[in-house]
């Protein structure tokens, strides 16, 4: 006996219940296959739209303030130029010697010797030392050291060793041996 014959012999209520269950199963499958998938896709698209709106608002705020941002960038670039003048990328010992010679000449101090020393790495900057020997009257030497401290480039003077004064005329002449240290940007953060 086949299944359809057995189904045909069932009472009408069972047949109707079976058809209702069959229709409900078909509707459930359709709901699962089409509606849930489309709803998930719609939710994903809504989230993506919201994210894009936030990004659009941020970009619009940047675009609205672009002149202000460009002005800030220009100010920062100028500050970088000023910082590089104080902390350049290279030692440029010849330029430093030239600047020290000019200061010495203007202050009536004689630059007797200039001997480059070593370089010490301190992470993002390096210290470059030079040993110098200068001679002049006490006041002139003080003015020289003051002007070296006020140079555009950072130059520290340390380890000053004074010699016994020599009397030439009325005022004594001193000789100072000292270490000058300048700094440069080395770029590494170690």
pLDDT of residue 190: 44
CATH 3.40.640.10 corresponds to the domain 87-185: no
pLDDT of residue 143: 94
146 pLDDT above the threshold of 90: yes
26 pLDDT above the threshold of 80: yes
129 pLDDT above the threshold of 50: yes
pLDDT tens for each residue of 153-180 = 888 899 999 888 888 777 789 999 999 9
pLDDT of residue 145: 92
Report residue 97 as tokens.
């010697």
- Domain spans of the chain? 11-62, 87-185
pLDDT of residue 152: 82
- Average pLDDT of 62-78? 87
Banded pLDDT at 132 (limits 50, 70, 90): very high
41 pLDDT above the threshold of 80: yes
pLDDT of residue 188: 55
Banded pLDDT at 125 (limits 50, 70, 90): confident
């Amino acid at each position: 006996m086949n299944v359809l014959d057995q189904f045909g012999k069932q009472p009408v209520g069972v047949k109707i219940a079976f058809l209702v269950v069959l229709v409900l199963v078909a509707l459930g499958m359709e709901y699962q296959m089409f509606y849930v998938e489309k709803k998930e896709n719609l939710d994903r698209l809504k989230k993506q739209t919201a994210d894009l709106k936030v990004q659009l608002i941020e970009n619009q705020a940047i675009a609205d303030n672009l002149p202000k941002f460009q002005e800030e960038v220009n100010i920062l670039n100028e500050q970088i130029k000023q910082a590089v003048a104080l902390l350049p990328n290279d030692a440029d010992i010849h330029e430093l010697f030239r600047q020290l010679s000019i200061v010495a000449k203007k202050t009536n101090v004689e630059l007797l010797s200039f001997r480059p020393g070593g370089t010490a790495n301190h992470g993002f900057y390096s210290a470059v030392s030079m040993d110098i020997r200068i001679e002049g009257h006490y006041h002139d030497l003080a003015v020289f050291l003051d002007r070296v401290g006020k140079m555009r480039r950072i130059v520290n003077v340390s380890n000053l060793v004074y010699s016994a004064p020599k009397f030439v005329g009325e005022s004594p002449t001193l000789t100072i041996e000292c270490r000058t240290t300048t700094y440069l940007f080395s770029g590494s953060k170690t």
